[in-house]
Amino acid sequence: MEATATYIKRKSNGQITIKSGNKVERVIRWTLILLTLLTVVAFMFFNYAGLDLAKAIPETAYNLKTMFLEPGLSHFSWGEAIYQVGITLGLAFLATILGAVIAFFLALMAATNLSNRWVSKTIRVVVAFIRAVPTVLWVLIFAISAGLGSEAAVLGMLFHSIAYLVKAFSEAFEEVDKGILEALRSTGASWWHIVTHAILPSTFTYLLSWTFLRFEINFSVAVAMGAAAGAGGIGFELFMASGFYFDLREVGLITYMILLLAIILEIISTRLKSRYFPATSTN
């Protein structure tokens, strides 16, 4: 059980007040209060002009019914749909694989137990800056510089994937037992020998898990960037069905396809973790 701090305060009239609780509880309480107030204020600033709830609620229910209970394709065939899904998966896969390879070598230089302190700090600062910028913004930046298309989407996702995985990989490298590294260094092992015989065997499951997690993120980003960056794929078809054709049945079917892919990716991720990292799957 966690101990709860008790605060005793003596007033000027001699009375003593006792307050229980700790700083963490007070921070959480005031954070929730602040978020609640901000939510109320946000609703107060909404523009409700022309909103008729008596009409809006039935129309929304009808749209949802058409979208999810009557899905269907109207503007492209099943073969084209599968092809567009393959494009989206290809964009995510390419950005993830390239990002993981580049991030691995950068993470070796960013890990404090494997690299010079200044090199490590420099890389960490740079990737922190890249990571602070959302993936969507990086895609739009490359779309302006390189032009709309799949290249901009891959470069934007690649940029953010590298920064994301460098942090994850370097932290995994730093968790390696120091005794193993010192033992190898004492025998005269080279830096690369330490990496291949100590770092990789100890962190392989973490690298696999983080890489697949990033692949899931890149898949969702690739869906969104299909329209925003003109990268194509199932995201572009979803944009056309919702914003151009306004075909709710097609929107519903595309949504189901994306959800099915997300579930399949989650199942694959769970099986990989249970096979290569059984300690986490049983927790």
Q: At what angle do helices 200-228 and 78-110 cross, to 10 degrees?
A: 130
Q: What is the pLDDT of residues 64-108, one digit of tens each?
A: 888 888 888 888 788 888 898 898 999 999 999 999 999 999 999
Is residue 213 packed enough to be buried (19+ CB in 10 Å), middle (13-18) or exposed (0-12)? middle
Domains of the chain, CATH where assigned: 1-60 (no CATH), 75-281 (1.10.3720.10)
State the average pLDDT for the chain: 83
Q: Which residue has the higher pLDDT, 171 or 54?
A: 171
Nearby residues of 61 by Cβ (< 8 Å), 6 or more positions away: none
pLDDT band at 21 (very low <50, low <70, confident <90, very high): low
Q: Determine the average pLDDT of the residues in 210-226.
A: 88
DSSP string, 45-85: TS--TT--HHHHHHHHHHHHHHHHHS---SSS-HHHHHHHH
pTM of the model as a whole: 0.75
For position 238, what pLDDT does the model report?
85
Indicate whether 1 pLDDT > 70. no
Q: In whole angstroms, what separates CA 190 from the centre of its chain?
A: 36
Q: How many CB atoms lie within 10 A of CB 196?
A: 12
pLDDT band at 37 (very low <50, low <70, confident <90, very high): very high
| Of the candidates 205, 199, 196, 210, the residue with the CA atom closest to the CA atom of residue 103 | 210
166 φψ region: left (φ > 0), alpha (ψ -120 to 50), beta (else): alpha
DSSP string, 211-278: HHHHHHHHHHHHHHHHHHS---SHHHHHHIIIIIS--HHHHHHHHHHHHHHHHHHHHHHHHHHHHH-H
Indicate whether 50 pLDDT > 80. no
Indicate whether 49 pLDDT > 90. no
